Structure 1
Amino acid sequence: MPLDHDLAARMAQPDFWPLYSFDATAVRAHDEARGEAGEEDEEEFRTRFLPARELGLELRFEPGFSYVDLAVVSPEAAEPEIVGWDDTAHFHPHVMPWSELDLLCRATALHDPTLRHPGAMSALLLRFAFLTEQDDLDTITPFTDAAFAETCPHRISDAVVLSTGPAGTAPADPAHDIAHGAVRVREETRAWFDQRDLRGTGVTWSTRPDGHRAVHQEKDSGTHLYSSRAPEATEEEFPFTAWSRLLRGATRTLEDAGAHPALRRPETRRALDRCAEPDGHTQLSRLATALRAAGLTEGPLLRAVTRPSSRAEAAWAVETLAGLPQGRVAAAWFGRSPLADARTWYLDLTLAAAGHGSRFGSTFAAELSAALEETGLGWAETTGSTSVRDAKGGYVHASDLLTVLVRDDLPAAVRVIARRLQAHGAARTADLRHSGAPRERIPLPEPS
């Protein structure tokens, strides 16, 4: 089933991805534009993906409400069964590991040649996938980058950021970085990594007594697992049976594609073995010649070998044709992920309101965010405020609360935060802590 026409057209508009990521500025602009146009009905988009016969996924997105959900579609259920949802309040987006998302996208691409992988499906559904210790960034990063490159072409010029490098160095011009061997990923890829990296947070996968896989979190690390796919969940809370059937159907789709008689020919096997090597992407034309000579003259896999939309697409095609494990060829072709050493921290910064203007919190957050972004260290935003009763029984503004995301170099980011606080005379009363338990306080360095 091709991507819904209305959704495909909406995805081509520059504000789609900011809305899909619940960017507050984009949401306000969207609401204002609809109000000025007199549009009362909110936008709603639905699209289905079919990785297996009669088994699929339905995605529903409501931009005006900052809401998106994912459901399983099967003949046994009268209505799609929700597996996860994302919003700005009571979200449960942690549905699947990368390996399952990749499997479903590959199978869908085989069923529907218009839905290439990586592409729109993987870009849209990445918000329902997350990272744990079992996941391999060497495999995941190139697919994620390619998915966003395919679906966000209008953002290519400003979407790549330096993911590694000396602490505190600002992202440079992309052409300069490429020429000097700098390793880069797209900003959308890094943002997904920041939001969905649950490695080291006590998240583990297990098999339930009924044979279905479930996920749970053993400790409170500040980065929480929000999933209905829990070991103790009922079928009403998470459709385990339908989800397992969907994965089995997708697996059969890939197995059937890899069972073509042409793939048993010695010449084809030699060409596939050569393509599985680190420089195998240079041998795709020879593989295509061998496939055609053996009788495989059409289909999504041959197209992925002869006219790939990205090197990642050719990689999974070779894996499917050769019967290799997911990610084996991609890891060989792309090497070590630029995110391999990446780290993300979430911090809580509390600013005392006394002695400052009423808008100090929002002004400081914007200033701090700009300073962190300029050095490639993260961003900051206001998340609330506190008030206390005064002697007359009323309430007065007591403090502002900020969330700070730090990338890769925590000490450097803390120095930036300290300098900004000192410039406003707010360092002595500010409180900086890790967001996760045990919420350790982070000392601020003295002015140098």
Structure 2
Amino acid sequence: MPLDHAFNARLTDPDFWPRYLFEHDDTYEEDHWDEDDRQDEFTARFALGDGHALVLDVDLTYGTYTLDLDAPGLDEPAALGWLDQAHPIPHALRWGELDRLARAFALVDPELRHPGPVLALLATFTVLDENDDPDVMSPLVDAAFRHVRPGAATGLRPETRQWWEWRNLAGSGLTWAATGPDGHLVATQAQERSSRPPLYTLRREDGSFPFAAYADLLTRADRILADAATDPALADPAVATALTRCTAPDGATHLPALAAALRTAGYGQAVLLRAVSDPHDQAEACWAVETLAALPPGSLLTRWYGPSPLATARHWDLQLDLPVLGRPFGYGRTVTEDLNRRLAEAGLGNAEICGATMRRSATGEILSDLILLDILIRDDLPAGHALIAATLAAHGAGPETVVTNRTTADVWRPVDGSSD
């Protein structure tokens, strides 16, 4: 079982996903580390047989998560990436790779329904670029979080929106190139020091990424998916007719006929039969039909679901330099927490402290000079500007306060409304 009883139970706790997805800043404090916290460590092994597996280690106490690859020929599991709140290396998997792997894991282990825990847990280890289509991705990610976490039963999930913003490096200069005799895909990013957002990955030409073993894992996943479409029952005329109807834009309405035809023909893949006859979400039936019809992954999702809300979603990455010299202790955190609350309540984004600058006083004392905030504004930049200005005014911020739009390089002084 890839998710043992304790981990499965932990996934249903109200505080698991907010902590795993870093939805709030739970800074570790030793005084608050009790005995229960010491047990908040879990390992999940997602296997494809013969020693090929992805291994996820979760430590909620420290907020650190590592993704390793285990494979024949490796002396020990090799790191693909990790997540923490200090020096994360999260860009490990491309979307198409994760989707294919999650489908194969589901076929091998009926407990790992797709979209479900694999996608919800491992999506945070992906990296997206201009070639990734939100119409293909968001139905699956939405369905994965609907399956593992209470929330809206329809529409774009907030976890999906956050994931899209965190892992989307479109426009950042990210490129992929096939290198070496085996053509392994290596990531590069032009002008890495100034790129926003930056690429943090082991998948570099001189990196430690286990390219050959990972390619073997993907090959094994593709073989499992292909084998599911070779059952002789799929040649039955009634099955073929029903399957063709299911690949149309209204294909979901023909699922009962497909399920009945598969049963009558004696189709033997229990996971796909369950997915079309009793899906936990329509997206589960959709990928099952894609697999049965040997369609490219995601091609039917665009027909069944149409445009994703992410296709028109916009966000801006801002940095606020907040002067705190001479202010009461905790002033910067107070402003940040209030701004984050207001942005969240308005559905406009979030704010968090990302750093600080210091200066030495005339007496040699080291004093905080600026608190640096990362601010994400969604969809309505003028409304975001207005809310930032109102929050800073409420806390008496000075005219030296500066906001830089990292997306456009514009500089704005919210206290007096001027810009450079």
TM category, shorter: over 0.9
Structure 1 residues 345-356: aligned runs within 5 Å: 345-354=316-325, 356=327
Partner residue in 2 for 1:332: 303
1: CA distance, partners of 2:89 / 2:23: 18
Partner residue in 2 for 1:114: 111
Structure 1 residues 204-215: aligned runs within 5 Å: 204-210=175-181, 211-215=183-187
Partner residue in 2 for 1:379: 350
Identity across aligned pairs (percent)?
42
Whether 2:236 is the aligned partner of 1:239: answer: no
Partner residue in 1 for 2:383: 412
Structure 1 residues 430-445: aligned runs within 5 Å: 430-435=401-406, 439-444=409-414
Q: Which amino acid aligns with 2:189?
A: Q
Q: How far 1:68 sits from its partner (Å)?
A: 0.8
TM-score, length basis structure 2: 0.92
1: CA distance, partners of 2:51 / 2:357: 52
Aligned to 2:143, which of 140, 143, 146? 146
SS at match of 2:411: coil
Equivalent residues of 1:372, 1:378 under 8 A apart = yes
Equivalent residues of 2:47, 2:105 under 8 A apart = yes
Equivalent residues of 1:53, 1:249 under 8 A apart = no
Q: Pick which of 398-407 and 352-361 moved more.
A: 352-361
Per-residue CA deviation, residues 30-72 of structure 1 (Å, 9 max, x unaligned), is x66642xx46845321111113543111111111121111111
Equivalent residues of 1:319, 1:326 under 8 A apart = yes
Aligned to 2:165, which of 190, 194, 218? 194
2: CA distance, partners of 1:218 / 1:63: 34
Aligned to 1:125, which of 122, 130, 136? 122
Q: How far 1:4 sits from its partner (Å)?
A: 2.4
Q: Which amino acid aligns with 1:123?
A: A
Whether 2:287 is the aligned partner of 1:313: answer: no
Structure 1 residues 150-229: aligned runs within 5 Å: 150-153=147-150, 156=151, 160=152, 184-210=155-181, 211-219=183-191, 220-229=194-203
2: CA distance, partners of 1:90 / 1:352: 26
Equivalent residues of 1:205, 1:214 under 8 A apart = yes
Per-residue CA deviation, residues 231-266 of structure 1 (Å, 9 max, x unaligned), is 333xxx010000000000000000000111111223
- Structure 1 pair 425–13 and aligned structure 2 pair: CA distance change class (3 A): closer
Q: How far 1:424 sits from its partner (Å)?
A: 3.6
Per-residue CA deviation, residues 82-118 of structure 1 (Å, 9 max, x unaligned), is 1111112221110111110000000011001111001
Partner residue in 2 for 1:56: 53
Q: Which amino acid aligns with 2:258?
A: L
Equivalent residues of 1:258, 1:323 under 8 A apart = yes
- Structure 1 pair 423–23 and aligned structure 2 pair: CA distance change class (3 A): closer
Per-residue CA deviation, residues 97-155 of structure 1 (Å, 9 max, x unaligned), is 111000000001100111100111111111111211111111110110111111113xx
When the two chains are superposed, the root-mean-square deviation of aligned CA atoms in Å is 2.3
Equivalent residues of 2:393, 2:415 under 8 A apart = no
1: CA distance, partners of 2:357 / 2:216: 49
Whether 2:242 is the aligned partner of 1:271: answer: yes
Partner residue in 2 for 1:43: 40
- Please, which runs of 5 or more residues in structure 1 have no aligned partner? 161-173, 179-183
Q: Pick which of 102-111 and 58-67 moved more.
A: 58-67
Work out which structure has the larger RCO, using CA pairs closer than 8 Å and 6 or more positions apart in sequence: 1
2: CA distance, partners of 1:351 / 1:27: 21
- Structure 1 pair 381–353 and aligned structure 2 pair: CA distance change class (3 A): same
Q: How far 1:344 sits from its partner (Å)?
A: 2.3
Count residues with an aligned counterpart: 415
